[in-house]
Amino acid sequence: MTTTPAEQAAMRRALTLAATPGVPLGPNPRVGCVLLDAEGVEIAEGFHRGAGTPHAEVAALTEAGEAARGATAVVTLEPCNHTGRTGPCVEALIAAGVRRVVFAQRDPNPVASGGAAALEAADIEVEAGVMATVARGVNRAWTFAVEHQRPFVTRKFATTLDGRSAAADGTSRWISGTDARRDTHSLRAECDVLLVGTGTVLIDNPRLNVRDEVDEPVEHQPLRVVMGERGIPNDRRIFEAPGEALHLRTRDPRAAPAELYASGRQHVWLEGGPTLAAAFLKAGLIDEIYAYVAPTFPGAGANAVGDLGINTINDQLRWHLKRAGVVGTGADATVRLTLEPSKAGI
């Protein structure tokens, strides 16, 4: 079997629907669905709007009504085959009388997988893997978390040309420019956890939230998490509304992500100091880095990353540069590097 031009166009539309702005970032995947009639004309569409709401297939089937009988369902993720807060999408598609299902990404969740086989057992044609790579990108963190049983971890830091995260007197505001800070907030908003250590909270007292262009907190905030064994006073700014804050009393870089994953979190934005960064790096638990490099030389001060216990150049941790660009202009310009672990591993 092969897909038709109409099905390919429908998949592109379904992927757009899946990425609709404002949809909650987890714990469920983002999914879009388009229904086509026998001539390849769209008759309905839908997308998942968050946990507890109808899945994309059900939303589209509801819109189509009886017109769904004999239709082709084009979906960005393999229809689920289990009962959670809502019923199995496979059963809804079978009951609606669709004749064919085209989907992009196979469901990596063993609890929900098996949809394709169930559809085929009901004599429904199935075409899998259409634009699967793009679909995985829509649910990058969710897919990683399900496959690795831990959240995807993005490390962000700002540094000077001589690798400093703060000056000799401890001051660090502001290393990066105004545009770089706005850029950081747009990237923070893609995560469901903002994580720092107790040292950062006690010394810097950050708000650790997502703010808009006029520096005001947005309504929907990621979970603010501080990890470490020291106590945190209740007057610290991470406890301010809107949003919630959590103190994980552990220094173990493996224990914190495990606890967050168990609570349904999938993407951690790691913005702590050099000690916490070093701990996660040594544990091999950083999956992406955003490094903002300012064109300055403070000459002394804290390093951007703590001691990794490396004594020879042959043992250095190598990372692959995915993208490089400049954020801001003139004196406000900052270089942003996007990196991922090298194929050789960490």
* Cα separation, 243 vs 233, whole angstroms: 18
Q: How would you class 91 by CB atoms within 10 Å of its CB: exposed for 0-12, middle for 13-18, buried for 19 or more?
A: middle
**What is the per-residue burial (b if ≥16 Cβ within 10 Å, else e) of 210-244?**
bbeeeeebeeebbbbbbbbeeebeeebebbeeebe
Taking CA atoms, 101 is separated from 14, 34, 74, 164, 295, in Å, by 13, 10, 6, 54, 53
Q: Which residues pair with 35 in a beta bridge?
A: 44, 73
Taking the CA atoms of the chain, what radius of gyration do you get in angstroms? 23
Catalytic residue, chosen from 57, 78, 271, 288, is 57
Q: Is 57 annotated as catalytic? A: yes
SS3 of 43, please? strand
* Cα separation, 151 vs 141, whole angstroms: 7
Taking CA atoms, 69 is separated from 8, 45, 165, 275, in Å, by 21, 15, 61, 59
Q: Directed axis angle between helix 89-96 and helix 56-64, to 10°?
A: 20
Whether the Cβ atoms of residue 203 and residue 228 lie closer than 8 Å to each other: no
- From the list 67, 69, 75, 88, the residue with the least C-alpha distance to 126 is 75
How many other C-beta atoms are found inside a 10 Å radius of the C-beta of residue 304? 21
* Cα separation, 215 vs 211, whole angstroms: 5
Residues belonging to the active site: 57
